[in-house]
Amino acid sequence: MQEDFELETVLSLITGYNFTNNFDKVFDLVQFMFEDPFIDILGFNILKDTACKHIYRLYPEFKNISYNEINDTLVDEIKSIYGDTITISVIGENVIKLKHSV
């Protein structure tokens, strides 16, 4: 199973800096990844590292993004590459990208 999430939500999770207008979106992302709608703040803190490792497995280039260098310009640059949303799968699954024929 996979779903698209706002890029800012994913960046908020992996950097620890909130780029969203509502941090609940980050909880929604982690709850989706673990298929558990009842993950609370304690569970979030326990599972955060595993969630980040999963995202890095899907998008290894995100390993190079650090909290110290991130700013609105960098977010815009990343959006120019990936778009406003990015596809995330549940833990243990790959992202399947379908090719559209014209």
This prediction's pTM: 0.84
* DSSP-based three-state secondary structure for 64: helix
* Tens-digit pLDDT profile for residues 81-101: 889 999 999 998 888 876 655
Backbone angles phi, psi at 87, to 5 degrees: -85, 130
Low-confidence ranges of the chain (pLDDT < 50): none
**pLDDT for residue 19:** 84
**pLDDT for residue 39:** 93
E strand or H helix at 91: none
